[in-house]
Amino acid sequence: MATRTRRTPRRTEALSRERIVEAAVELLDAAGETGLTFRALTERLATGPGAIYWHVANKGELLGAATDAVVAAAVAVAGAGAGTGATAEAGAGAVAVEPGRDAAAAPSKDTAVEPGEDAVVEPGEDAVAAEGSAGASVGAVSPQDRIRSVALGLFDAIEDHPWLATQLATQLSRSPWGPVTPRIFESVGRQVRALGVPEDGWFTATSALVHYVLGAAGQNAVNASHGSGLGPGVDRAAFLDATSTAWEQLDPDDYPFTRAVAAQAREHDDREQFLAGIDLVLTGIAAVAAAHTGAPGQE
């Protein structure tokens, strides 16, 4: 009796670049960068390599697209989440908008607005004017709150996607002309401008915030990764307790400060510490803006 060869299931719907990128993110989340191969991708998508190469030229392009997709979703939903009511609800179901695409051309509920903007803001509208119009209906959202929201969106994205921190560093250092760096800079920089920072300080202030956000969030992701590899029964609390205990036993003449903060290290919350750092940077930026305008610093 002849045996029947089992065929690999084939896709019935058209394969899009968006679906390829989505599958790439899934593979990266599951197995890291080494797990993202075109063979694994063809198996997951039940298609041939030619269909994938039609949309992406190589693995480097695919990694860049996956990084941009995650970042775009993070800053878009975070920007919408800075509002309340209808604007927050609209942000919750957002998908990324390709760089340069007019957000107004797509459906309002399922399409992300420009990075860092509230969902009700028309594309290109000045951030200060936008906050005024939003405040009339749902309460004004300050630039500081928008920055905190975007920062937390990126913090959570890096924590949820362990491969993202490395890819962000790669994108920012090797291809800052690509979509990722401008997207992050735009989402933060618009709010820096709205804080009243003089124009010649926009780049420096925005860079300071972006470097802090990506650096602190990336380090937190590394800590979480190392903590998960400490072995069975060793959790974050036990790891911090061991670290703090070791600090407390350091020589008091050589390490008086480290010994003094050992208890704080044991008890700290990563997200609270991250936001406290954002506030420290914002305080300095507000002082610069106040010195420029002669007005008191904003809270």
Q: What is the pLDDT of residues 28-59, one digit of tens each?
A: 999 999 999 999 999 999 999 999 999 999 99
Contact 120, 141 (CB under 8 A): no
Contact 158, 217 (CB under 8 A): yes
Q: Burial letters for 75-102: b for 16+ Cβ neighbours within 10 Å, e otherwise?
A: bbbbbbbbbeeebbebbeebebbeeeee
State the burial class of residue 173 (Cβ atoms within 10 Å of its Cβ: 0-12, 13-18, 19+): exposed
Q: Which among 46, 49, 53 is positioned nearest to 7, based on CA atoms? A: 46
Tokens of 127: 């951030």
Contact 187, 75 (CB under 8 A): yes
- Mean pLDDT of the 54-77 span: 92
Global pTM value = 0.72
Q: Return the pLDDT at 82.
A: 56
For the segment 125-152, what is each residue's pLDDT rounded down to a tens digit?
A: 444 444 444 444 446 889 999 999 999 9
Q: Return the pLDDT at 79.
A: 60
237 pLDDT band (50/70/90 cuts)? confident
